[in-house]
Structure 1
């Protein structure tokens, strides 16, 4: 099995964190291909940044999906996920949806711990879009600048654990998601210190992608996830244009 993992942020240090946790989580024999967005921001916090990240992600997926059995969009908030599912003939999963669906099977009320207060609106909207708002206990965040996104686990580890404990004690969370690609692997390292189950978006997404690949679902030919209508296009990469415009270049 081959999984394609795309980091919608431009930070190679974050891609390295994603890669480490993905390799720890993948089944024996699963091969992983990782790519970092060619343009965008160091880490996504806002709706505008997510829109840019979605476009960058679709470019990477279009260029590299061939030969893979499933793909993962490796940023919490899942920028471009629905579009990628519409566009590609292989299953595509995101960190948020995978973590939420996994957490929902471990407890009732779900708490999220994140790296930035600004990120809360986008995360809340993403949870609501997946129909899980009624299960959300709350979103706890760091509230200070992050000069080095690749070292946030080392720099803010104890504060993140404290946020997890507060989410259980004060918000009533039954299960926690430690959210965001920069925190990939942290759930694994602090699980024994938290009194409820803790899940990580990267590990959940890898397992979900493997499951969907093994199910070998057919690509939709009808409904809202059918391939795009054939039409002219310009200004897109050839790979993306062929998937979006179905090879009908002007």
Structure 2
């Protein structure tokens, strides 16, 4: 099995961390390829960032299908799941978002989950994503740290403190029974947090890997019956050749 994980931002160190986390969850016979788009934001912390990141995600799925020998599944590794729906339109392989995977898995082990994430302005994005997946009734809260995405790599000790404090507040004040870490840059914190908090803590990358593997093993592909059908054939002006629908 081959899975391509797309980090929608262009920070290679973060892509490397995502790759390591994915390998820790993948089965021995699964090949993991982790990439970033050729252009786009170094981190994703706003709607503006998401627009350009989403285009890079879709281009990388095109590349996987046409230039890299094909994959059995794709993962988009940003917690806003940018580009997830258009990516599903350009392949019949499963495309899994890390937010979608981890939130749904959290509902299997707790009635209410909380998302602990980055800057307060990101809360609106998270609330929209939660609503998109029909999980408003199962989400206890969205708790935001004061930290930017790349700060978690630069200052992991501060990151660990902030995640613990916000997670503890979600459990005590919001009655959360599980925690979803709302950024792919938080992959290294999940195990320690789970031990300290005593509740399930989900990192989106590892959650998405096991979901993608399960879909492939169950021989489930993206439905082309209606909404995720391939894009209509047309010319795309001044775009890479692989992007134009055929």
User: What TM-score comes out, normalization by structure 2 length?
Assistant: 0.93
2:107 equivalent in structure 1: 104
What secondary structure does 2:114 align onto? Answer: strand
Residue of structure 2 aligned with 1:68, choices 68, 71, 83: 71
What secondary structure does 2:109 align onto? Answer: coil
What secondary structure does 2:74 align onto? Answer: strand
> Structure 1 stretch 150-159 or stretch 133-142: which is displaced more?
150-159
2:242 equivalent in structure 1: 239
CA separation in 2, counterparts of 1:29 and 1:177? 27
What secondary structure does 1:105 align onto? Answer: helix
Cα deviation for residue 85 of structure 1 reads 0.8
Q: Deviations over 1:56-88 (max 9, x none)?
A: 111111112442100000000100101111111
CA separation in 2, counterparts of 1:152 and 1:240? 38
Aligned runs of 1:42-191 on 2, under 5 Å? 42-65=42-65, 66-144=69-147, 148-191=151-194
> Structure 1 stretch 124-133 or stretch 137-146: which is displaced more?
137-146
* Residues 146 and 152, structure 1, Cα contact 8 Å, conserved in 2: no
1:3 equivalent in structure 2: 3
CA separation in 2, counterparts of 1:138 and 1:106? 17
> Is the alpha carbon distance of 1:125 and 1:227 closer, same or farther for their aligned partners in structure 2, counting shifts above 3 Å?
same
What secondary structure does 1:184 align onto? Answer: helix
Structure 1 unaligned residues grouped into runs of 5+? none
* Residues 3 and 33, structure 1, Cα contact 8 Å, conserved in 2: yes
Please tell me whether residue 212 in structure 1 is matched to residue 215 in structure 2.
yes
Aligned runs of 1:20-59 on 2, under 5 Å? 20-59=20-59
* Residues 43 and 149, structure 1, Cα contact 8 Å, conserved in 2: no
Q: Deviations over 1:23-52 (max 9, x none)?
A: 101011110011112222221111121111
* Residues 153 and 182, structure 1, Cα contact 8 Å, conserved in 2: no
CA separation in 1, counterparts of 2:224 and 2:207? 28
> Is the alpha carbon distance of 1:88 and 1:117 closer, same or farther for their aligned partners in structure 2, counting shifts above 3 Å?
same
4+ runs deviating over 6 angstroms? none
* Residues 44 and 149, structure 2, Cα contact 8 Å, conserved in 1: no
Cα deviation for residue 219 of structure 1 reads 4.8
CA separation in 2, counterparts of 1:216 and 1:68? 13
Q: Deviations over 1:83-114 (max 9, x none)?
A: 11111121100001001110010111110111
1:193 equivalent in structure 2: 196
CA separation in 1, counterparts of 2:218 and 2:150? 42
Q: Deviations over 1:149-185 (max 9, x none)?
A: 5335333211211111111001110111012111013
